[in-house]
Amino acid sequence: MIEILIPGDPVGKARPRVTRWGTFTPQKTVNYETLIKELFIIKYPDFQPLDSALSMTLNVFHSIPKSASRKKFSKMIEGKIRPAKRPDIDNILKIVGDALKGLVYGDDGQIVKINAEKFYSETPRLQIEISIIEDMA
Domain boundaries, the chain: 2-132
Q: How confident is the model at residue 61 (pLDDT cuts 50, 70, 90)?
A: very high
How does DSSP classify residue 66? T
Q: At what angle do helices 89-100 and 27-43 cross, to 10 degrees?
A: 60
pLDDT over 70 (residue 82): yes
At the topology level of CATH, where does 2-132 sit? 60s Ribosomal Protein L30; Chain: A; (3.30.1330)
Separation between Cα atoms, residue 98 and residue 128, nearest integer Å: 13
Q: Residue 137's pLDDT is what?
A: 44
